[in-house]
Chain A
């Protein structure tokens, strides 16, 4: 069973279409990276999964339940960390733990204390006195302490320096392994996604352009350096310039123009090829 399934989801902000028929699925127990440029629809998608927004059209299933109105019982099984957590500035980490914990029957207070220790979050400091990175780590602790089945992270490392980012990601990996939680995190940092995610989804202009394992992605998209006018045949889709997408079997069959050179690409190059494509294929 998939932890998350989105089927042809559409959502508008006034006249702006944020999601334009987005479909993807996240498997249980995996760490899923959600890649896309700013404004691609990542945050909107995650807000829908936690129940902050409702789709105008389409179907969303979270942990086996179709979500039209997010019931509190389902929300209790989901952890959510946003880009800039808006904690009450006057509350300390302990007070926040006590407050948030009262909403979750599965809240594990010792685990919360352990997480604070591991993540190096001071217990008795007010949120207003914490740095952005510490607040994000506190958000992670608050999200993990109820032992959620699904953890949604919306660009959690966006405001962190490289050291803090690496630290955060390491801890996330460890905790995910320990708890077996399904993690779906959004990012526009390709390296981070490559390091953490088992599978990725690339979203552009509100639609999913690719969903699959990182290895599969790299085996599908390559650069073909050929003479002008010579193009590969059927089955190849041009993403941008000389970057083409095709099924691995076609690449293995070497079905590209004679005399052309084929180069493997980094995930970043592939992401840029997707992200910079101006027109979205139907």
Chain B
């Protein structure tokens, strides 16, 4: 036994010591950041959770996999020593080094925690037993899996996948399972007593794994493990890869189909009747209640107009950091529903604009994003505005003015104007959400008038009302927008574009006296080399020097695949004079830049000089 122990130590000492050093480093880093964690004991808990499985894996790989894959165990077996002795020495050496290293970590933590945490022998024993049980299980599992030889590369990902799937897809309380419960953060704070059941279960599983390890190693005179430790053949490798990808895809599909719990807002005012709407409490509850009821009423009208079933809950959150006419939709990775944000309490809050934004977001959810595809997005944006403003002549007049101004801005970009319906996202990016929504309203209102109520309703239902199943095949066989237009008796897209441009021209003539009062100052961006390949970007609105009315500069560095830029991705600088962006850019960086100025006559922000360009 001693000779075996010496041999193992001589063979693996540098790796074992390197891993222990890595553990010490991780512990030191964790202790250094203990201030932000609340307690040095939390740092120890984090190290146990992260490092015990990792080190177990390395030790098992070194002590078992290397011996069998290198086939040196065949040499050992010819010596007068039993297989069980060989295995026991390996197991005990790895376990001893791992436990010693963890004990050293605990000791170092206790030294640091003196004076900060009440350290009684009872408490230290609790922490030590809990972490030692977890380490015991990790090592037993790693050793057992190590004996599966070439299949360990399958077993480990499968175990991990099962754990993740149980947690996410299965919604099982994985964190409360005995081994994981032992090393939860509560380990640091629970001083009452040992969770005997969790410790017993963990140790029992570990003991079972040890027994299984020896059974596997000794079965069929060790030939089973020898067979498992042969290198994987290409056919096996292909089968494993395909199997793994299949499992991964199956879990992804299950995950996508799994119903998520609805988003719940604790402190909110809810609509009294109609579709469920919750509005976060901001300032007066009266404002929130009025907004909730108005949103619910809008949703009810849209539901009836589009014949929608099973509408999701809509939640509106207050966000004072936003402008009055800026709205955002929150991403909900773990919940279902539509959550939108706006500055309800701002004096410049655009109530109707927000309600239309909420409707559009709601329709986007309902159509699983289909209604927001570029060729039909104008219909989505416009229909939402149209539904809200249908019985509000003042709002219609406001939108008409904005639309006429937007059309005037578009005249400077004839290419975009020509492809108005096909490149709606580019138009929207250039005009900004406020003017683009108004332009879309103008187009939808005209279309509704031209087609008549029943035909327009049929078109809206076919484009916006359907709820796809989420299956990718649906997208393949879904009719395109042109066919939907034709099917509902609407003009084709070219005719529509001509019709809309004629309308825009007429509207500009009708509203010319007001439009002429809106100034269009020159705005621009240019890049200037600072040093080497670094550039600074200058912006200006109006004259190059001197103060101008407040404006906002929006910018973002684009990736290679960026399509629509979400509003929250845009960096913003508020200014009253020409200046320089606070970031330097390397040559070749692709940027989106724009200047926004609030125009009192329009009641919304006007976006100028919006473009995508490359720094050079």
Contact = CB atoms under 8 A, between A and B. Distances in A.
B70 interface: yes
Nearest 9 pairs between A and B by C-beta? A102-B3, A75-B80, A72-B80, A86-B75, A76-B80, A86-B71, A80-B78, A86-B74, A103-B79
Nearest to B79: A103
B77 interface: yes
Interface string B1-40: 0110011000100000000000000000000000000000
A99 B71 contact: no
B7 A72 contact: no
B81 interface: yes
Contact of B221 (A54, A86, A89): A54
Interface string B214-248: 00000001010000000000000000000000000
| Secondary structure of the B contact surface, majority rule | helix
Contact of B78 (A52, A53, A73, A90): A52
Contacts of A85: 75
A85 B75 CA distance: 7
A69 B416 CA distance: 88
B525 to A, nearest CB: 64
Contacts of B81: 72, 103
A103 B74 contact: no
Interface in A61-115: 72-73, 75-76, 80, 82, 85-90, 99-100, 102-104
B82 interface: yes
B72 interface: yes
A109 B271 CA distance: 94
Nearest to A75: B80
17 contacts: A52-B78, A54-B221, A72-B82, A75-B79, A75-B80, A76-B80, A80-B78, A82-B74, A86-B70, A86-B73, A86-B74, A88-B11, A89-B70, A99-B3, A99-B7, A103-B81, A104-B80
B221 A82 contact: no
Given A86-B71, A87-B75, A102 B80 contact: no
Which of B7, B74, B78, B221 has the most chain A CB atoms closer than 10 A to its own CB?
B78
Nearest to B85: A72
Nearest to B71: A86
Which interface residue of B72, B73, B80 has the most chain A CB atoms within 10 A? B80
Contacts of B2: 102
A99 B77 CA distance: 14
A136 to B, nearest CB: 13
Nearest to B81: A103
Contact of B77 (A52, A90, A102): A52
Interface of B: 2-3, 6-7, 11, 70-75, 77-82, 221, 223
A140 interface: no
A88 B3 contact: no
Q: Looking at B7, B71, B75, which has the most chain A CB atoms within 10 Å of its CB?
A: B75
Given A82-B74, A87-B75, 15 more contacts: A52-B77, A73-B80, A75-B79, A75-B80, A80-B78, A86-B70, A86-B74, A86-B75, A87-B72, A88-B72, A89-B70, A99-B6, A99-B7, A100-B79, A103-B3
A97 B162 CA distance: 47
A33 to B, nearest CB: 21
A76 B73 CA distance: 18
A153 interface: no
Contacts of A3: none
Interface of A: 50, 52-54, 72-73, 75-76, 80, 82, 85-90, 99-100, 102-104
B221 A52 contact: yes
Contacts of A99: 3, 6-7
A11 B312 CA distance: 69
B519 to A, nearest CB: 82
A102 B81 CA distance: 11
A271 B3 CA distance: 44
Contacts of B11: 88, 90
B218 to A, nearest CB: 11
Contacts of B7: 88, 99
Contacts of B223: 53
A90 B78 CA distance: 19
A50 B78 contact: yes
A57 to B, nearest CB: 15
A92 to B, nearest CB: 12
Nearest to A101: B3
A86 B70 CA distance: 8
A99 B223 CA distance: 24
Contacts of A86: 70-75
Given A52-B221, A86-B75, A103 B80 contact: yes
Nearest to A80: B78
Contacts of B82: 72
Nearest to A13: B223
A99 B73 CA distance: 14
A99 B7 CA distance: 7
Contacts of B79: 75, 100, 103
From A50, A90, A99, name the one whose CB has the most chain B CB atoms within 10 angstroms.
Answer: A99
A90 B71 CA distance: 14
A104 B78 CA distance: 12
A138 to B, nearest CB: 11
B13 to A, nearest CB: 12
Contacts of B70: 86, 89
Contacts of B6: 99
A102 B6 CA distance: 11
B75 A88 contact: yes
A76 B79 CA distance: 8
Contacts of B74: 82, 86
Given A82-B78, A85-B75, A53 B221 contact: yes
Nearest to A76: B80
Contacts of B80: 72-73, 75-76, 103-104
Contacts of A100: 79
A89 B72 CA distance: 9
Contacts of B73: 86
Nearest to B2: A102
Contacts of A90: 11
A102 B10 CA distance: 15
Nearest to A50: B78
A73 B81 CA distance: 9
A88 B67 CA distance: 9
A90 B2 CA distance: 19
A88 B11 CA distance: 9
A233 B72 CA distance: 55
A194 B207 CA distance: 56
A268 B3 CA distance: 46
**Most A C-beta atoms less than 10 A away, residue of B7, B71, B223:** B7
A99 B81 CA distance: 12
- Max chain B CB contacts within 10 Å: which of A52, A53, A76, A90? A52
B275 to A, nearest CB: 67
B246 to A, nearest CB: 29
A154 B6 CA distance: 29
Contacts of A75: 79-80
A29 B11 CA distance: 39
Nearest to A69: B82
A134 to B, nearest CB: 16
A150 to B, nearest CB: 13
A89 B74 CA distance: 13
Nearest to A87: B75
A54 B220 CA distance: 9
Nearest to A79: B78
Contacts of A76: 80
Contacts of B71: 86
Contacts of A54: 221
A71 to B, nearest CB: 9
